[in-house]
Amino acid sequence: MSRRLDEIDKRIIHALQQDARNISAPMVAEEMDVSPGTIRNRIDQLEDAGIIKGYHADIDYERCESRMTNLFVCNTSASERENLARKALTIPGVVNVRELRTGRGNLQIKAVGEDMSDLTRIAHQLSKLGLEIEDEDLIQEEYFTPYEPFGPDGASKQGAMTDMVSLSGGAEVVDVTVSKDAPIVNMTLREANEQSLLDSEVLVIAIEREDEMITPKGDTVIRAGDLISVFARDGVPESTLGSFGNTNKPMTPS
């Protein structure tokens, strides 16, 4: 069940997304002109409501004895999706499972292995659960940013990139929020392709609109505020991000 958020709730979430480790209740309270006790109470309420689900460290596993991080894109039936997602988390080495509402590729599983044989072991265990592995690749880098509409300046005028996963070989999965003045707004995916707003090598794999997950099709209309997940084998072009209203693609670390 969703909960209506006021400005204090939104600013708390934005601040925690920026740096949950170093942000404090007095710091947020000073910005909002409320008491630290109010901020602490709101955080407790957001946790009780299941909106803030946890606080997680961002780990560079490559620096941990050169471990390898792999993304498995798996298929399963909608009826088994949640059950298998929870079972996948019990496999040693699996650190994250993303459950999508799309027809194919509806489970994205991130796993860490000591070497390729360890990742192969994880792949075999996923298969034993009944998951069909459609694709897999090594993750090179991940990028995160707070949800801009919850920030101090309100909704961003540009589309905001909320997540980016770089895979080995140059492939990328990017999540981007569509801005209200983006060129692609109110177009179908077919029209966007016909007008070359989407690169021919770019695949829209999921669209999240409010509480609904939409399976992308040719006649799917893009709306302002949609969270779009796009995949490209050779990296998502700047021109494609510009079509969603985003012009600030982060640089891949050297």
Q: How far apart are CA 231 and CA 164, in angstroms?
A: 10
For residue 250, name the pLDDT band (cuts at 50, 70, 90).
very low
Percent of the chain with pLDDT over 70: 92
Mean pLDDT of the chain: 87
Per the DSSP assignment, residues forming a β-bridge with 98 are 108
Tokens representing residue 187 in the block? 């177009």
For residue 238, name the pLDDT band (cuts at 50, 70, 90).
confident
pLDDT of residue 247 exceeding 60, the answer is no
Choose between 40 and 4: higher pLDDT: 40
CATH architecture, domain defined by 61-139: 2-Layer Sandwich (3.30)
pLDDT of residue 213: 86
pLDDT of residue 32 exceeding 90, the answer is no
Q: How far apart are CA 99 and CA 96, in angstroms?
A: 10
Tokens representing residue 147 in the block? 């949800």
> Residues 36-92: pLDDT tens digits?
999 999 999 999 999 999 998 889 999 999 999 999 999 999 899 999 999 999 999
Task: Return the number of other C-beta atoms located less than 10 Å from residue 198's C-beta.
Answer: 24
pTM summary value? 0.62
> Residues 175-197: pLDDT tens digits?
888 888 889 999 999 999 999 99
8 Å CB contact between 139 and 109:
no
8 Å CB contact between 157 and 129:
no
pLDDT of residue 219: 93
Q: How far apart are CA 207 and CA 34, in angstroms?
A: 37
Domain ranges of the chain: 7-48, 61-139, 145-243
Tokens representing residue 181 in the block? 């003045």
pLDDT of residue 161: 56
H helices of the chain, in order, are: 7-19, 25-32, 36-48, 81-88, 116-128, 189-194, 238-243
The domains spanning 7-48 and 61-139 adopt the same CATH topology: no
Q: Which of 77-81, 103-107, 243-247 has the lowest mean pLDDT?
A: 243-247
pLDDT of residue 163: 66
Q: How far apart are CA 8 and CA 150, in angstroms?
A: 9
Q: Which fold has domain 145-243?
A: Alpha-Beta Plaits (3.30.70)
For residue 237, name the pLDDT band (cuts at 50, 70, 90).
confident
> Residues 206-233: pLDDT tens digits?
898 877 888 899 999 999 888 888 888 8
Task: Return the number of other C-beta atoms located less than 10 Å from residue 219's C-beta.
Answer: 9
pLDDT of residue 155: 45
Tokens representing residue 95 in the block? 């650190």
Q: Which fold has domain 7-48?
A: Arc Repressor Mutant, subunit A (1.10.10)
For residue 165, name the pLDDT band (cuts at 50, 70, 90).
confident
